[in-house]
Amino acid sequence: MTFKAQPYFVYEGLERSPDSFRLCKLHPAETDAPVQCGLVNDRISAQKGIYSALSYTWGEASESGWIQLNGKPFVVQPNLLQALKAVRRLDTEILLWVDAICINQAEVPERNHQVSIMGNIYRNAKCVLAWLGPAANDSDAYFEYLSYLEAGADMTRNVQIKLSAARAVSFLNKRSYWRRAWIKQELILAKEIAVYCGSRSSHSSSFFWEASMFTLDEVDGYEDYISSISTHRYDVLDGQRETLEELLYRYSNSECSDLRDRVFSLLAMASDCEGLESTLVDYNLSIPALFFSLIARFEPLDVASFSAILQDTLSVRRVQLMKYWDAVATDSHLMASSPMEERSFNYIRKVVSYGKSWESSFWNEASLSNPQVPEFIVQSYLAAQRPEFLHQKDKLFQIEGTKLCLQFKHTLFGLHFVDVLVNKENAKDHESDILCFFDLPLTGEQKEQMWKSMQLPANMLEKDDEHLLDHGMITEWKEKTTKNYGAEVAEPDIEMICCILQQFDREYFIMSRLCLVDCRYVVSSLYGYSLLRPSDVCMRGEDFVVGDTD
């Protein structure tokens, strides 16, 4: 994401130390009055436990509002403007940390520095102020319920109030706030949390506790975000911290405008990243560069599995990774942009060098052993060129609402598509889901329909860039394709979609380039289906067994 410089406001330079940050002084005023703030350079240690930190969603970048900052007009997005008005007091100035105000977002070195210490900023705040957004769907009912509880009222007989509160919680849980990448760190590391929604607020831990008490059966397709984050927060406060890989798996689908933030937002919580944030946060890195830099930095024992979760998290295409790899491997004069990228360059070149040393060898598992080469490099080479030697279980993604699954193989370049599997009826075995290969015979007319339906995704997938995230381009191609072949080509049934994936892999993609991200584009983004999290798969004869790890 590219940030534009403020047109009227000029930031004072900020020292690049782990203790340096800026604070916003939110001046008191009536709720609807224009927002006026001051901005000062300060130190975290000097203001520890005194300032508050704001947690909110940025909203659409195309929209904007205005505040006064040090007497100058300052552009903010509407949701931030609403948040500042909601938390502002009538008679007392608030010392507040707000990322969009306190960080010069247009200066990448400063953004790298400040993002790397955000964990400490939220950890040392007196309170984190969580702005959920304006009141909607009777959200006030839940805050009213909390006020009754805090007053000591017996709610066991107030059935209607509890039902209204439960309904309000189900809608609060659906808000985009909980899906945002950065709010995990902001809430989980907080000493205290005050939740604001519209004109109501709750400064009690009961907001999360009571929300977890309600059953959210009516929240179709949504996780229980509120309870999940609350539980994770108490685990961390209790000293139970997860590794970066575990956190990536937990939060790989978090929403953010910059996919790199899915990684950067977790560093302060990861047990194996303590003290490393300043070296790991780098917005100069491309997504492929970040992908290989992280593998090189952590040297995972299971490099292929780590690659898979990184591909899922960063939504990076296999073709992008291979293009970056080839550029680094073949151009010895290519210069890295930062120490992090230099690490990825060294890693790629070591793996390639190791591979060349074995080019004339007879390939077998014994010949791959070399005590002079680190095991991590050996495993990386196997994952890149000989994944069959890794003896790993393939990954299976179920297509939501169907008995169909997509099978993927682990490689250094993430998960690549293998085939489509389907549930197999087996009356003798009711304990495991047995799957077999999907094979749908097509008539001549169906083959013609498949070819027409393939044109839309084919036009997108043949490009070697990040176009799959460009909704404008997708819409343009969809209009062209439906104009040429009719609207029905963009509406095939799910069985036809699976045939299309198989055909793509057989004819269009050399070296199994069709990957998890490509398949998600075809199945999910284009046709409206969802892919669930993967299940472990193992072979039993010619069948695949889901969830059987014996």
Q: Tell me what the mean pLDDT of segment 497-502 comes to.
A: 92
Give the pLDDT confidence of 438-452 residue by residue, as tens digits: 999 999 999 998 988
**Residue 245 within a domain:** no
Do 377 and 305 lie in one domain? The reply is yes
Residue 506 lies in a domain: yes
The answer on 411 and 341 residing in a single domain is no
Question: Which of the 8 DSSP states describes residue 403?
Answer: S
Burial of 121 (0-12, 13-18, 19+ CB in 10 A): buried
Looking at the structure, tell me whether residues 117 and 257 fall in a common domain.
yes
Residue burial 259-288, b: 16+ Cβ < 10 Å; e: rest: bbbbbbbbbbbbeebeeebebbbbbebebb
Q: Quote the CA–CA distance of 491 and 472 in Å, as a whole number.
A: 19
Name the residue with higher pLDDT: 143 or 5.
Answer: 143
Give domain status of residue 500, yes or no. Answer: yes
Exposed/middle/buried for residue 408 (C-beta within 10 Å: 0-12, 13-18, 19+)? buried
Q: Count Cα neighbours of 411 within 13 Å in the Cβ-side half-sphere.
A: 22
Indicate whether 43 pLDDT > 50: yes
Q: Note whether residue 301 is domain-resident.
A: yes
pLDDT tens digits along 304-322: 999 999 999 999 999 899 9
Mean pLDDT of 383-409: 87
Indicate whether 400 and 534 sit together in one domain. yes
C-alpha to C-alpha distances, 442 to 223, 439, 446, 495, nearest whole angstrom? 38, 9, 6, 11
pLDDT in the model for residue 542: 45
The residue among 327, 359, 390 that closes a domain is: 390
CA dihedral of 57, 59, 61, 65, whole degrees rounded to 10? -90
pLDDT (tens digit per residue) in 110-145: 999 999 999 999 999 999 999 999 999 999 999 999
Residues 359 and 427 in one domain: no
Answer yes or no: do 354 and 216 share one domain: no
Strand order in the sheet with 200-202: 72-76, 65-69, 36-43, 20-26, 94-97, 52-55, 127-131, 193-197, 200-202
Domain of 274, in residue numbers:
1-133+181-196+252-281
- Would 162 be classed as within a structural domain? yes
Provide the 8-state DSSP code for 505. I
Judge residue 292's burial from the number of C-beta atoms within 10 Å of its C-beta, 0-12 exposed, 13-18 middle, 19 or more buried. buried
Task: Indicate the range of 20-24, 280-284, 454-458 predicted with least confidence.
Answer: 454-458
**Of the given ranges (274-278, 444-448, 487-491, 499-503), which has the lowest mean pLDDT?**
487-491
Is 437 inside any structural domain?
A: yes
- Residues 182/264, Cβ–Cβ less than 8 Å: no
Q: What is the predicted pLDDT for the residue at 540?
A: 46
Which of these, 77, 16, 10, 81, lies nearest to 39 by C-alpha position? 10
Q: Are residues 325 and 441 in the same domain?
A: no
Average pLDDT, the chain: 87
H, E, C per residue of 143-162: HHHHHHHHCCCCCCCCHHHH
Q: How far apart are CA 446 and CA 283, in angstroms?
A: 47
> Where does a domain end: 390, 415, 441?
390
Residue closest to 185 by CA, chosen among 249, 229, 235: 229
Q: What integer pLDDT is reported at residue 218 of this predicted model? A: 47
Q: Is the pLDDT of residue 361 over 80?
A: no
Task: Please report which confidence band the pLDDT of residue 489 belongs to, taking 50, 70 and 90 as the band edges.
Answer: confident
Of 73 and 481, more confident? 73
Q: How many CB atoms lie within 10 A of CB 195?
A: 25
Q: Kindly state the average pLDDT of the residues 205-231.
A: 78
What is the pLDDT at residue 170?
A: 92
Tell whether 359 and 213 lie within a shared domain. Answer: no
From 390, 417, 438, give the residue that closes a domain: 390
Say yes or no to pLDDT of 433 above 90. no
Under DSSP, the state recorded for 31 is: T
The pLDDT assigned to 506 comes to 81
Instruction: State the Cα–Cα distance between residues 481 and 164, nearest whole angstrom.
Output: 47
443 and 329 co-located in one domain: no
Three-class secondary structure of residue 168 per DSSP: helix
Residues 379 and 290 placed together within one structural domain of the fold: yes
- For residue 130, the model assigns a pLDDT of 98
Same domain (yes/no): 92, 129:
yes
Give the pLDDT of residue 425. Answer: 63
Domain count of the fold of the chain: 4
- Residues 300 and 310 occupy one common structural domain: yes
Residue indicated by tokens 């699976």: 498
246 assigned to some structural domain: no
Domain presence at residue 510:
yes
Query: In the structure, what pLDDT confidence band is assigned to residue 159 with cuts at 50, 70 and 90?
Result: confident
